[in-house]
Chain A
């Protein structure tokens, strides 16, 4: 049987006739070893075949990810090479460790990993390794030694599956594979060129911190941690996005944030199963309470101080890797009228500033509609002198006032849109052409009446008086609706529209919190920080609109006073 299976062995036996006895015994021993090797290589070959077949089949990725790290370096290398096929940025650095010449591979992505760490620390420490031969007996021991003793790296962990290896490599970490060990070492070497912490462009302030979030989530969490130096600040990691594998961190203050809200945020994040998350807006739309509305139900900010303030009020912040914009939940509508500077300037200033914001957002929403309604239906509501002015100005204008207003508003929106996207030198040309040519020439040519231009211009300016860009967009969309309502049915239509709008706003929720709170439901305690802001010494409690387990945030009676004799 054996002879048939191994025909060459038979030939060797024949050779033995001409050999000395001792040599025969020696050869026999070698032969057995060779047999053993052949058997092993056959099994390995079969294993490789199986893996190769798995990889050929279409939905192989899942299975490959579950694949354990093999003891054979060659095997692992083949698998990973196959996975990173045609990925020029993935480097496989092959080398040997110590006198025993044990093969090892470092895998990392060129550009994602920090070259300083990989060259200066990892390679150097691995090349220098000297160990006693006894320790080499077990590659597992060797890898433990490398982890605990030899490697000069801060953060190292052991991985056991191919999927973990690929994930680690793709996030910019370096993987060390050693022949004979069924574990891979993950060395954190993330370090790529990112934007520096700069002034937040969308939320600049006159007074207040000038740092803004960047596209790197670790930088962002660091910025947040620097504001809140407390163990209670929890940062919870989630990976979302099948392909992009975007890291998402939930930031909340344990004990202050309501556990139910945190659990709900977690549940909604976990529910997300999409292939990509490129911006926090993806998350926003996937977790918001009412998808069919123009109103933003989740506030976003790129200011660490604003996010920190929200977290300190018991909210949950959702930081997303790859974008400087963090989400804040639950959100109530009045937040969109508040700016972080309201809290950095002295409180009486805030009273006027917020009054202006509320007043002008009403103008931004309603002025064209009301103007059209009054000018077309209720001319008696204009003061006499104004009506005479408007009528005189409209003399000879070919369009009805609604068409005029619509034309001008569309022009305004086009100018704004053109100005936003264009490079600055071209943008200036657009504003000159738009402002002068369209504004001035249209009036002079008698196509548009000056009153309409004033109304549209005032509305346009008003919509920029809001600190939040996304609510100002909602108002802008609704403005067209109200303009049309004013045109078809006058103030009656506007009132009807307002009623429907209010009903809609009141019906909205953000993570269970009524959107229009603290107006509806009315919360008197929260009025301290809505239309105006009380001084800091009077804002003893966290907002009642936001669920929290820790209502009081500071001592009572902090009002500054002149010291008297009774004071110590």
Chain B
């Protein structure tokens, strides 16, 4: 039994690897409840709404115990929202951390997992512009539908993916941008502000734009934006996609933007005597968002067919790029070819899984896209381009 005021509510946990005898650096972001009661007045305006504590240890549990040495309250992990893995930590084996998180009964399997481009400590110390509690803000950013490039992965999914025969998992990457460039400039300002905790980086902003790929319990690489979105197509988790087309019919400086909703994909393995081929079928519904200089031609429904074909072409290229990265660069089957074979034909999978790593780069595939333009004709011609037409 604990009274609520005996708890330190942990919202974010970061794990980094440092040099020394105690290689694990644990960072926790704690709500500073004594500073603010959201409804009530009072509480020092000087106090920050959150506190970050760090400690080192031989293992995660050791680090947690060392953290308790300096804490007046019991660390309460049940409300933890995100687990940030520092890049230097992910470079080597992450299994011990994952095991600790899995076995700790206070951690929820729904905690989101992110990989920090820098250190986890820096990410957790960063303030967000619009949120008082950065861990909650980061959580909201991750699950937001407005983030087109990443797919939020919770501990459960992450562990289950690692546990498959392929042993490939993925997690979004959080990037602390502008730290290196602007830090020097802003350092003086930051130092000058009274009451700011020295750890908090005001100038830095968290970016979510990539996915990290894990294989054999360690990070093997990160996808760039285009590859990430292709990846989301492949794992059928696309929220929405935007394609900017330089259409031949359009004038050179007028780009046409198409947004794709309801994208979905299906990977069908075909196992024949000649080998395994994958058929990737993607469908999507699209909407014209910026017509560029096409206004005059938009009355013609044929134009939409052309736009659809053009969109499909671009999307296909993007997905192909992702697959190429998987097959030839990372050599990690994060796309899920293996899992599809496992699902469609378990007996065949038993035969191929042993040397799947060797086979995967040689797998042949076909991609078909079916994009349908919707809501054509709601706006036939743009108001601003009417003069040009006439």
Contact = CB atoms under 8 A, between A and B. Distances in A.
B33 A379 contact: no
B346 interface: no
A362 to B, nearest CB: 24
Nearest to A450: B39
Interface in A393-428: 393-397, 400-401
A155 to B, nearest CB: 71
A377 B3 CA distance: 8
Interface in A365-407: 375-377, 379-380, 384-385, 387-397, 400-401
B2 interface: yes
B356 interface: no
Interface in B25-59: 31, 33-34, 36-40, 43
Contacts of A400: 3
B78 A380 contact: yes
Contacts of A384: 9, 11, 79, 81, 136
A391 B9 contact: yes
Nearest to B4: A391
A158 B231 CA distance: 106
B39 to A, nearest CB: 6
B3 A376 contact: yes
A391 B5 contact: yes
Contacts of B36: 392
A388 B9 contact: yes
Given A379-B78, A384-B79, A388-B9, A393 B3 contact: no
B122 to A, nearest CB: 23
Nearest to A378: B78
Contacts of B106: 380
B3 A394 contact: yes
Nearest to B136: A384
Contacts of A395: 5, 33-34, 37
Contacts of A450: 39-40
Contacts of A388: 9, 31, 33, 38, 133
Contact of B40 (A375, A392, A490): A392
Contact of A379 (B11, B38, B76, B133): B76
A395 B41 CA distance: 12
The prevalent SS among residues of A at the interface is helix
Contact of A401 (B3, B33, B38): B3
B2 A376 contact: yes
Contacts, number: 70
Nearest to A381: B78
B81 A393 contact: no
Contact of B2 (A379, A385, A392): A379
Residue from B1, B31, B34, B38 whose CB has the most chain A CB atoms within 10 Å? B1
B191 to A, nearest CB: 30
Contacts of B4: 375-376, 379, 387, 390-391, 394, 401
B81 A391 contact: no
B228 to A, nearest CB: 28
B215 to A, nearest CB: 33
A477 B2 CA distance: 27
B162 interface: no
Contacts of A375: 3-4
A386 to B, nearest CB: 10
Contacts of A385: 38
Interface string B224-265: 000000000000000000000000000000000000000000
B75 interface: no
B40 to A, nearest CB: 6
B61 interface: no
A394 B31 CA distance: 14
B7 interface: yes
**Which of A379, A390, A392, A395 has most chain B Cβ within 10 Å?**
A392
A391 B33 contact: yes
A393 B37 contact: yes
A564 B40 CA distance: 66
A184 B156 CA distance: 96
A396 B42 CA distance: 12
Interface string A541-566: 00000000000000000000000000
Contacts of B43: 392
Interface in B1-26: 1-5, 7, 9, 11
Give the most central of B3, B11, B38, B133: most A CB within 10 Å.
Answer: B3
Contact of A391 (B11, B31, B78, B133): B31
A272 B79 CA distance: 62
A507 to B, nearest CB: 33
A401 B5 CA distance: 10
Contact of B1 (A376, A389, A391, A394): A376
Contacts of A490: 1
B377 to A, nearest CB: 43
A391 B38 contact: no
A396 B35 CA distance: 11
B79 A387 contact: yes
B37 A389 contact: yes
A395 B43 CA distance: 10
Contacts of A390: 4
Contacts of A380: 76, 78-79, 106, 108
B9 to A, nearest CB: 6
Interface string B115-135: 000000000000000000100
Nearest to A490: B1
Nearest to B79: A384
B40 A393 contact: yes
Interface string A138-161: 000000000000000000000000
A397 B5 contact: yes
Nearest to B80: A384
A487 to B, nearest CB: 9
A401 B2 CA distance: 10
Contacts of B39: 389, 392-393, 450
A388 B5 CA distance: 10
A490 B2 CA distance: 11
Contacts of B78: 379-380
B38 A392 contact: yes
A391 B43 CA distance: 13
Nearest to B76: A379
Contacts of A377: 1-2
Contacts of A392: 33-34, 36-40, 43
Contacts of A391: 4-5, 7, 9, 31, 33
B7 A379 contact: yes
Contacts of A393: 37, 39-40
Contacts of A387: 4, 9, 79
Nearest to B105: A380
Contacts of A389: 37-39
Given A387-B4, A392-B38, 20 more contacts: A375-B4, A376-B2, A376-B3, A377-B2, A379-B4, A379-B78, A379-B79, A380-B76, A380-B108, A385-B38, A388-B31, A388-B33, A391-B9, A392-B33, A392-B37, A394-B5, A395-B34, A396-B34, A397-B5, A450-B40
17 contacts: A375-B3, A375-B4, A379-B2, A379-B4, A379-B76, A384-B11, A384-B81, A385-B38, A387-B4, A388-B31, A388-B33, A389-B39, A391-B7, A392-B33, A392-B34, A394-B5, A395-B34
Among all A-B residue pairs, the 10 with the closest Cβ atoms: A380-B78, A392-B37, A391-B33, A391-B4, A392-B33, A384-B79, A393-B37, A395-B34, A394-B5, A394-B4
